[in-house]
Amino acid sequence: MAGGVLLNISRNEVERARLESEYKGKLDLQTKLVDARREGAEQRDAELLSLIAKGYTLDDIKMKLEGGR
């Protein structure tokens, strides 16, 4: 009986470790997404400031950011 209990505990530990690893992977992905969004926002802000410093009007900036449409 003790062997069965130990085997069950071992299985539970393996499952717990698997679930923790899966959870960590999801958290890592979320962190990467947040970092990418933050980096994109910083690049956008830098681009806007650059265009303003170059003397572009708001309409020019809007057109440029929309891809020149």
pLDDT digits (tens, 9 = 90+) for 4-34: 665 677 788 888 899 999 999 999 999 999 9
Q: Percentage of residues in the chain with pLDDT exceeding 70?
A: 87
**pLDDT recorded at residue 25:** 97
Alpha helices (H) along the chain: 2-53, 58-65
- Tokens 């962190």, located at residue: 31
pLDDT at position 69 over 60: no
Per-residue confidence band for 67, with pLDDT thresholds at 50, 70 and 90: confident
pTM: predicted TM-score of the whole model, two decimal places: 0.62
Label residues 25-47 b or e (16+ Cβ within 10 Å = b): eeeeeeeeeeeeeeeeeeeeeee
Residue 61 half-sphere exposure toward CB, CA atoms < 13 A: 15
pLDDT: is 33 or 68 the higher one?
A: 33
